[in-house]
Structures are given as C-alpha cells and as structure tokens.
Amino acid sequence: MKNPSASKSRTKPTPKPIVVVVSGRGSNLQALLTRAEAERWSSELGAKVVAVVSSRAEAEALAVARAHDVPVHILLPEQFGSRSAFDEALARTLDRYAPDLIVLAGFMRVLTPAFVRRYAGRMVNIHPSLLPSFPGLDTHRRALGAGVRVHGATVHFVSDEVDAGPIIAQAAVPVHADDDEASLAARVLQQEHRLLPQAVRHVLEGRVRLSERRAVLVGIEHGELSLLAS
Ligand code: GRF
C-alpha cells in the first residue's frame, strides 16, 4: 500500500517558487541557477527555480534550464492574436507554479499593464544600463555614443512603464577609451551575473520589497545594493 504521508510530502509545493522568463542566451539564468546551487537556496532559503518560460523556441536558455532539470515552457507570441492574449497565457503558465518571484532575465517583450499589476512586487527585471539612463534596446551602443564614463546594469521591480520600475540594485563599470560595443557588453554582463542573483536573494529574503512605488530596504545597508567594478 502506498504511504499517504510520503506521497503528500512529495507533492508539497516549494515554499518560495521562482519562475524565470527568458527569450535568448540564458547567461543570467545560468548565473542564478549556479548561485542558487552554490548557496543551497533550496534548503537555506526554501527557494527554488521551479520553471523557465521562453518566448522563443530556439532560446539557448532552454538548454541551460534542462541541464539543471528545470521544467521549461515555450510560449510563442506568434501563436496568440494579441499582446493581452499572450500575457494571459503567460499568466496561466506562471500561476501553475504560484511563484513568489518572477525573474525576467533577457525577456524581450513588453508586458501589458494588467499583467504587470497582477505581479506587482513579485516581478523583477535585469536591464543592461544604469537606469534611468538608456532604457530600451542597444544600451551599450547608445552609452558609447553618449560618451558616458560609467555604465552598468540595473535590477528593478517591473512597473507598467518599460525599464522604469523602482530600482533594487545596480552595478557600475568603467567605460574604457578603446571600448567597442562588444567589450563594453562583456564587462557589463560579467557584473550582471553577480548582480542578479544577489538582488534576487535579497528580495526572497524580504530585505527589499516594493512599497508605494519604491524599493524599500529592510535590515540591509544601501551599499549592499551597489556593485562597483574596476
Ligand atoms: C542581458 O544583458 C540582460 O540585461 C538583458 O538581456 C540580456 C540577456 O542575456 N535584459 P542572457 O540571456 O541572460 O544571456
């Protein structure tokens, strides 16, 4: 006879499920999974990446997820008649996991305000610039064009204005005289891989939360949310 309590414990939901939403390469997903494993988030924080959702079938991030035994879902925008239809399907997929946190890690779509409201305070994004400078695409090219001396990356709560939600954490890097888009992107990406897992951990621990359109800190120093690379 089956042991009912054993099957009950097998189906017990993870206390803090995280779902990561991607569209491409997946290096930030990789960084998050690596850090979660190294720091034993599952036993230490009761938090786990339980699923990855991709808006592209050929996203390399899918292989990253599979290599870590994380279930994947592919939702192709072209299969939906409208932006809101896509977002509703995405919400249905996410809600299957009752996520504590949704991490947009290279997700290349604008979300509808209704979707954003539904997950307010539970959804973060990583953007490759020091916001509010350079929201949108081609941030490294635009930073070089503007002649900035310092560039970087931002993790923020997602709001209904693209790349403009309350800032959680930032990493800054110098811009070198001989930088091109690729070298600058690589320097920023290296910091993204430190920044995102750290910011996610702080949010999971309740040390950073959304309140009145600001990211409020609880029991951590402001300095823990800024990385300055040389
Ligand atoms: C990163 O630069 C991230 O900041 C931006 O998209 C890129 C995704 O890279 N939103 P990857 O897929 O995590 O490698």
127 is a catalytic site residue: yes
Strand order, beta sheet including 101-104? 72-74, 47-54, 16-22, 101-104, 123-127, 150-157, 167-174, 226-228
- Could you read off the pLDDT of 78-124 as tens digits, one per residue? 999 999 999 999 999 999 999 999 999 999 999 999 999 999 999 99
Strand-pair category, 16-22 with 167-174: unpaired
Residue 7 pLDDT: 44
Distance of CA 202 to the CA centre of its chain: 13
Q: Is the pTM of this model over 0.85?
A: yes
Residue 1 pLDDT: 38
Atom of ligand 1 nearest to the CA of 30: 13
CB neighbours (10 Å) of residue 117? 11
Q: Using only C-alpha atoms, what is the Rg of the chain? A: 18
Span 61-72, average pLDDT:
98
In whole angstroms, how far apart are CA 70 and each of 48, 50, 89, 227? 10, 6, 20, 29
Q: Cα 22–229–28 angle (5° rounding)? A: 10
Nearest to 83 by CA among 54, 55, 111: 111
Atom of ligand 1 nearest to the CA of 25: 12
Residue 74 pLDDT: 98
Span 38-53, average pLDDT:
96
Q: How far is the CA of 85 from the centre of ligand 1 (A)?
A: 25
Measured from CB, residues less than 6 Å from any atom of ligand 1 are: 24-28, 61, 105-106, 126-128, 153, 189, 192
Of these residues, 127, 140, 156, 193, which one is catalytic? 127
Residue 15 pLDDT: 84
Residue 2 pLDDT: 41
Q: How far is the CA of 221 from the centre of ligand 1 (A)?
A: 27
Residue type, 211: S
DSSP 118-150: HTTTSEEEEESS-TTSS-SS-HHHHHHHHT-SE
Residue 13 pLDDT: 52
Nearest-CA residue for ligand 1 atom 14 is 27
Q: How far is the CA of 108 from the centre of ligand 1 (A)?
A: 9
How far apart are alpha carbons 202 and 209 in whole angstroms? 9
Q: How far is the CA of 79 from the centre of ligand 1 (A)?
A: 24
Span 196-213, average pLDDT:
96
Six-digit token pair at 60? 């390399």
- Could you read off the pLDDT of 120-164 as tens digits, one per residue? 999 999 999 999 999 999 999 999 999 999 999 999 999 999 999
- Could you read off the pLDDT of 5-41 as tens digits, one per residue? 444 445 555 589 999 999 999 999 999 999 999 999 9
Atom of ligand 1 nearest to the CA of 29: 13
